[in-house]
Amino acid sequence: MRFTRILLLASLLALIVTPVALALRFTDESFNPPVGVTGQSYYHKFGGAAGCGPALPYQYRLLNGSLPDGLTLSKDGTISGVPKSPGDWSFWVELSDEDPPSQSWCVPSKAERQFTIKVIRGLNILQNSLAKSATFANESYSFQFTAEGGGSQVWSVSSGKLPAGLSLNSSSGLLSGTPTELGDFTFKVTVTDGSRSDTETYTLTVVEKLNIPVPPTPKSEVGQAFQLKLAATGGRAPYQWTAEGLPPGFTLDPATGTISGTPEAPSSSVVKVTVTDALNLTQSTNVNLAVAAKLAVAKKALPTLKIGKKYKARLTVTGGVIPRTWRILGGKPGTLPPGIQFNKRTGEFSGTPTKAGTWRLRLQIADALGVRAAVPVLLKVVG
């Protein structure tokens, strides 16, 4: 009898000293995931109790069913993401001890439970950024905000500042006006239906109008080196340049806006030049790049002159850039026949010769670019 009492007492002491292994379970806080809202961040973390924890970390995985579109379950029990669609979503989650365990005393166990997450349609601004995030001062600007979900919508600028001259229509969500203030403006737009709301942050930059001052009409000629530097004002540097329709032999430096080269053939090209600034704003202009043919004088015999008879003849010139100017280089005797004049602007001989003879001259023409051409001329006067 005494032995039996001793054995019973030892058994009771063993129960007191040895810890009781409680069944692994989800915490009460895990049972009620919050309602999700489409378009808004969602967060819920499952918790575990008993088993080998919390000394060792718990592990979670999706057994079956589906989480709401846009949400994921991580190994540590966190459900996060942005719900995409409204509805009720049921799924089973497995809770387990660390497996394999990092401590030898832990014998992993598992538990599972069904959960449901309800997702309601939220009020969500659809535009995450302005379609035109930069514009010119004193030019009209508009941007339409829209939101999905919710009831009657009210729009407002909840923080920050709009450029002077712009306003947000509270009922339509239209941002419009003519900005008159320069700078970078960051502001928050909020839409609400009374119970739900959404806010997005935007930045609008207002600069002086990008402009290409009209360059002087350039003069170019086949075979002659050419350069024209374009300039831009307004916008925000640095600028990038492009051109459409450059004649053969011309190139455009995209960084400096310089058109240069040696034209290869006559043309009457109108080149469209576009400048793009650092804000991706653009402006275009047309540049007339007419290319004249190379200056030349036709080697053509002039009519014979007769004493006492009025005379008029002109040298034939092709190409070159006006104005063009003639001069007599010399010859034998190096002067004109008596009674005859020479127009240095038109290249025309005129007058009434008074003396017979033969005059051999050499004449030269120079154009506005300094290109020169020379030709021998024979003037024969008969009686």
Angle at 203 between CA 198 and CA 208, to 5 degrees: 150
Query: In this structure, which amino acid lies at residue 222?
Result: V
Q: Of 324, 316, 314, 327, which is closest to residue 292 (Cα–Cα)?
A: 324
Please report whether residue 8 resides in a domain.
no
% of the chain exceeding 70 in pLDDT: 94
Q: What is the pLDDT of residues 209-259, one digit of tens each?
A: 999 998 777 889 999 999 999 999 999 999 999 999 998 899 999 999 999
Residue with tokens 């010859």: 331
Please report whether residue 55 resides in a domain.
yes
Residue 216: both structure tokens together: 């002087």
Please report whether residue 109 resides in a domain.
yes
The reply to whether 271 and 319 lie within a common domain is no
Please say whether the beta carbons of 191 and 147 come within 8 A.
yes
SS3 97: coil
Of residues 348 and 268, the one with the higher pLDDT is 348
Q: Of 241, 237, 233, 232, which is closest to residue 279 (Cα–Cα)?
A: 237
Please report whether residue 107 resides in a domain.
yes
Mean pLDDT of 29-46: 92
The answer on pLDDT for 331 being more than 90 is no
The rounded distance, in Å, linking the Cα atoms of 189 and 158 is 6
In which band, very low, low, confident or very high, does the pLDDT at 151 lie, cut at 50, 70 and 90?
confident
CATH code of 259's domain:
2.60.40.10
| β-strand pairing of 197-207 with 325-332 | unpaired
Beta bridge partners, 343, equal: 348
The rounded distance, in Å, linking the Cα atoms of 93 and 73 is 9
Q: Of 232, 188, 179, 172, which is closest to residue 207 (Cα–Cα)?
A: 179
The rounded distance, in Å, linking the Cα atoms of 185 and 182 is 9
The rounded distance, in Å, linking the Cα atoms of 301 and 358 is 13
Please report whether residue 13 resides in a domain.
no
The answer on pLDDT for 14 being more than 70 is no
Q: What is the pLDDT of residues 191-203, one digit of tens each?
A: 998 888 899 999 9
Pick the range with the lowest mean pLDDT from 216-225, 253-262, 305-314, 363-372: 216-225
Q: Which domain holds residue 32?
A: 19-120
The reply to whether 166 and 83 lie within a common domain is no
Q: What is the pLDDT of residues 289-307, one digit of tens each?
A: 889 999 999 988 999 999 9
Beta bridge partners, 119, equal: 36, 87
